[in-house]
Chains A and B, each alone.
Chain A
Amino acid sequence: MTEKRNFIGQIIAYLFFAGFLGVLSNYPTYSHTTADQATIKLTMNHSGKLKEKCRQRSEEEMAKLPPNMRVSMDCPRERSPIKLEMIVDGKEIYKETLLPFGLTRDGEATAYRRFNIKAGEHRVQVRMKDDVNTEGYDYHFEQTLTLAPSQVMVIHFDNLLGKFVAI
């Protein structure tokens, strides 16, 4: 039983398929950002301060512990969550509380956020609080930044210098 085939029909089908692949694989072009926009990336890897101070254990408390765990200083490992804020031209565009990494919350807290803003001059402020036991923010950054079109500027927290740096 030889099947009936129509080769013109097949060619048309293949052309359609190839065209479909060729077009959708490249078009339409997508505008991720426009030519008059720039990007600011805010990033931070920072360990918050310890939530509780170390303290001396009393005699009774020591006795309750198994013999191999009898250390006189009790230093809880949990670190403070970090509050991070960014204000551009007086408007708050980002506010987040970042938890320290890890089950016992003793690791670094990390932040990463990308913002598209119009190119040009902007007053940028960043505030960070890393200690639950103090009032107010512990780190401040304020700069007037001039952003060229499509420029990528990174504001990151330099742990060595102890402050935010814009590059």
Chain B
Amino acid sequence: MTLIEWKDEFSVGVPSVDHEHRELVKLINDGFRNFQEKDSGFRVDDFLGEIFAKISSHFALEEKVMRNHKYDQIAEHKEDHERLLDDIRDMMDVYENQGYFNEKELADHLAAWFTGHFKKHDARLHGKLGL
């Protein structure tokens, strides 16, 4: 089962950004599949750490694109980025210190965030970039 279904509206029109969106979706889906198949190599903290790093660098790239195109809502969009990174860190800390990991919660959260952020910010960015 794929956690996040790729939708065309996830495209922003910038090849590098879209590529990373696809890679992130794949990373998340693969991670969940490994978890569900009880893959002995899968560790939640490593998985989350990798997502954290990849999402951080992805946001850095998006922010560069926004800067280059003088996007007018760069501050709001960036605020949302920072929020998600905080949420991921929260998840990591909760797992680390409580051993608590509810994969359904994580799944819902990521999926909701992905689609929510996309709908609100990335779609608008796509429109403004005019690509």
Q: Do chains A and B touch in the complex (CB under 8 A)?
A: no
User: Which residues does B use to contact A, with CB under 8 Å?
Assistant: none
User: Which residues does A use to contact B, with CB under 8 Å?
Assistant: none
